[in-house]
Amino acid sequence: MTKKQKKVLWRIIATAVLVAVVKLFSIGGVAGTVLYLAAYLIIGYDILRKAFRGIIKGQVFDENFLMAVATVGAIALAVYEKSGDYLEAVAVMLFYQIGELFQSYAVGKSRRSITALMDIRPDYANIEQDGKLVQVDPDDVAVGSIIVVQPGEKIPLDGVVTEGSSTLNTAALTGESLPRDAAVGDEVISGCVNMTGVLKIRTTKAFGESTVSKILELVENSSSHKSRSENFISKFARIYTPAVCIGALVLAVLPPVVRLVMGLSGDWGTWVYRALTFLVISCPCALVISIPLSFFAGLGGASRAGVLVKGSNYLETLSKTRVVVFDKTGTLTQGVFDVTGVHHNTMPQKKVLEYAALAECASSHPISKSLQRAYGGEIDRHRVTDVQEISGNGITAKVDGTDVAVGNSKLMDRLGIAWHDCHSVGTIIHLAIDGQYAGHIVISDVVKPHAKEAIAALKRAGVEKTVMLTGDIRRVADHVAEELGVDEVHSELLPADKVAQVERLLSNADGKLAFVGDGINDAPVLSRADIGIAMGAMGSDAAIEAADVVLMDDDPLKIAKAIRISRKCLRIVYENIVFALGIKGLCLVLGAMGIANMWAAIFADVGVMVIAVLNAIRALQVKNL
C-alpha cells in the first residue's frame, strides 16, 4: 500500500470511529453536529477541494462535483428540517472514499503486473579492463564490445556468446519458467538472467536498440493508445454527467412547483432529498474507473504471459480476429535452414557449395547462413565483386572473376538458363557458372514444435481461417501447410505479392485479420493488416516496430492465448457496462419515485463500482487461458 493509500485508510478509520461514537453514545445537539461535521470534513475535504478547483477551471461536471453537491445538499436539508442527522452525508463520502481506495489498490495491482517488466532493465554492464571487471553504464557500451555476465546477473545488451556456456532465465521476457541453454555462437537477448556459468558476449546492438529497451518503450507507451470502448466512455461521461445534474435540478424544482400550482403543499424537502439521491446514484465512477482498469488489467495479464500489446485499441481489435495469416519462415518454421542435399553436374560438390557460399556472403538471409555453414571454409569477401541482389529471385556476382548466379528457378528463367527439376521437399537453390547450369542445393527448414498445436488452438479460439504466405516453392509450401493443417496457402510470393494477398483477404474477411511475421520484408504487411503480430525474440527490429502485438518467445501457440486474453478482457468490459448502466438506471427510476433512499444510492454508486472493479481485475488472471 502506498503512502497516499495509507493516509486515506487512516481518514476512513477516523471517520468511522467518530460516527460510531455518535451513534453508540447517542450524542445529539450541538456536540453531535460538531462530531458529524468533523467526520465529514476529515473524509471529504479533498473531494470538496477538487470540486471547487473544477468549478474555477470550468471543468464542473465530474464525480467530485456530484459528491460535493449531493453531500452538502444533504447537510443543508438536515439543517432545514432541523433533524440534526447528518449520517447520510457522512456515509456517502465515507463509502465513496472506501470505493476510491479499493479502486486505487486494484489499479496499482494491475500497474505492478506491467511495471514488473521494468525489473528487466539492467543497471550495469561488466567490461574487462586490465584483468579486472569494471561496471559501466549499458548506454556507454559500443557495438562489438565484449561484456562479461556472471551468474545471477541480467544480460544488459543483445549479443553473441563468444566464450562459456550457461542456462538463461527468460521468465521476465516470455512468461515461461523453463530455462534456456546458451553456448558459444548462440544469440542472446538483453533482459534474461544468467543462472549458472560465466558468459562472454560480443554485443550486436547499442543499448537504445536492444530488446530490453524496445520492450520498456512498448510498455511505457501502451496506455496512450485508447480503445473505442474507452473513448466512448470518456465522451459518454462528458455528456452524461451534465445531463443527470440537469435532471436532478428538474426533479428538485419541477414537482414542487407543479404541486404549488395545483394548490397543494410544495413538499420541497422530499423532492430535494430525491434529487440528491438521484445525484449520488448517477455518479459514473463504475464506468469511468472500471472500463480503463479492465483494459489495463488485460494488458498486464498479456505482458505476464509474454505477449506485449501496444495499446488497448489493439487488444480490442485482436478480440475480433477471424482470419490469421502467417508468413511461413520464422513463424511456423524455425527459420533455421540446413543443407540436406547437393546435386551437381560435373563440378565437385565442395566447389558447388564454395561458389554458392561466396556469392551469398554479403546477404544476411538465413539461406545464405546455411550455405556458408555447409561450405565450412573461410569466406574471403575480396574474391567476390559485382554483387547484385534481385528481390524474390536470388543473387548474381563475380567470384574470382567468374560469373555466378545463385537463386530459385525464377532467377534461372530470368537469365535464360535451363534448370533441372527436383522432387525433394525443401528450398531448392539453383547454381549457374558462366551462364551454364552447375547444379542445385536442397535446403530444408524445420517446423516449430508447437506450430501444429498453434493452428489447432486458433481454431478452438474461434478463428475461422488460417492462411500461410511464403516465397518458397509450391511443393514445400503445400507440404508444410498439409502437415500443420493450414486452411489456405500461397507460395512463390515476392514481398509485394504478400501485401496484395493480404489486401485480397481483407476485402473478403468477415471480421478482423491478423498477420504474423518476423522478417524485415514483413513490415509492410504487418502495417497493412488489421492487427500485426511480430515474433519478438528473434524477429527483426522493423517487424517489431511495425507490429501491434509482439510475442516475446517466438512461440506461435501464444497467438491463440493472446486472442483468448483479449476476448476475456472485452467480455469483462461489456459485463461492467451492462451491469453498471442497468443497476444505475433501475436505481435512478426508483430514486425519482422516492422508493430508493440515500443508502440505496450509496450501493448504486460505491457498491456497483467495487463489484465492477473486482470484475475488472479478473483480466489479470490469464495463466489457464
323-375 tens-digit pLDDT: 999 988 778 887 667 787 888 767 888 888 888 888 888 776 777 888 888 88
Is 510 assigned a catalytic role?
A: no
Q: What pLDDT does 542 receive? A: 62
pLDDT at residue number 514: 92
| Ordered strands of the 180-182 beta sheet | 180-182, 166-169, 193-194
How big is the CA angle at 329 (ends 412 and 467), to the nearest 5 degrees? 100
Domains along the sequence of the chain with CATH: 3-115+224-296+568-620 (no CATH), 142-205 (2.70.150.10), 312-334+447-547 (3.40.50.1000), 338-444 (3.40.1110.10)
Q: Is the dihedral of CA 215, 218, 221, 226 positive or negative?
A: negative
Is 23:43 a contact under the CB 8 Å cutoff? no
Between the alpha carbon of residue 167 and those of residues 64, 187, 194, 201, 354, the distances in Å are: 54, 13, 6, 14, 35
Q: Are 184 and 143 in contact (CB under 8 A)?
A: no
Output the pLDDT for position 90. Answer: 87
What pLDDT is recorded for position 583?
A: 87
- Among the listed residues 46, 47, 49, 18, the one whose alpha carbon sits nearest the alpha carbon of residue 33: 18
Work out the widest C-alpha separation in the chain, in whole angstroms.
117
DSSP 427-483: EEEEEEETTEEEEEEEEE--B-TTHHHHHHHHHHTT--EEEEE-SS-HHHHHHHHHH
As separate numbers, helices (DSSP H) first and strands (DSSP E) second, the chain gives 21, 22
Q: Are strands 488-490 and 465-469 parallel, antiparallel or unpaired?
A: parallel
Options 62, 327, 445, 472, the catalytic residue: 327
Q: In the structure grid, which three cell numbers stand for residue 79, read together?
A: 439543517
CB atoms under 10 Å from CB of 503, counted, come to: 12
Q: What is the pLDDT of residue 233?
A: 66
Residue with cell 518458397: 472
**d(Cα 482, Cα 265) in Å, to the nearest integer?**
83
Beta bridge partners, 149, equal 199
Q: pLDDT at position 221, please?
A: 58
Residue segments in the chain with a per-residue pLDDT below the cut of 70: 1, 60-61, 83-85, 106-121, 171-178, 211-212, 214-234, 237, 266, 335-336, 345, 364, 422-425, 519-521, 536-544, 625
